[in-house]
């Protein structure tokens, strides 16, 4: 098995995923990030260009490959 995805790489994976989904994205913040047995669980706050208010989304990212396994806008992980 290869190297695992580290915390430092999470923001780039999330940013790329949001850009694929929505195009023009700004003000991306990772607000929660924890690794568990099923991969990284990540909450984000972001704005699409022209938005007045931030949106939230959750991600599950495979810790071995960096692949986004789950994405849900408007939801967040809780501890």
Within 10 angstroms of residue 59's Cβ, the number of other Cβ atoms is 23
pTM (two decimals)? 0.89
Write out the E strands in the chain.
Answer: 25-36, 39-48, 55-61, 68-73
Domain positions in the chain are 7-73
Q: Please report the pLDDT score of residue 67 as a whole number.
A: 96
Mean pLDDT, 10 residues at a time, over the chain (79 residues)?
82 95 91 94 95 96 96 92
Q: Please report the pLDDT score of residue 1 as a whole number.
A: 46
Q: Please report the pLDDT score of residue 61 as a whole number.
A: 97
Q: Please report the pLDDT score of residue 79 as a whole number.
A: 75
Tell me which CATH code domain 7-73 carries.
3.10.450
């Amino acid at each position: 098995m290869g190297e695992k995805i580290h915390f430092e790489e999470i923001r780039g994976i999330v940013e790329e995923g949001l850009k694929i989904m929505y195009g023009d994205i700004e003000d991306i913040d990772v607000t929660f990030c924890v690794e568990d047995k099923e991969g990284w669980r990540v909450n984000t706050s972001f704005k699409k260009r022209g938005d007045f208010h931030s949106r939230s989304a959750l991600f599950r990212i495979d810790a071995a490959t960096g692949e986004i396994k789950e994405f849900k806008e408007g939801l967040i992980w809780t501890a």
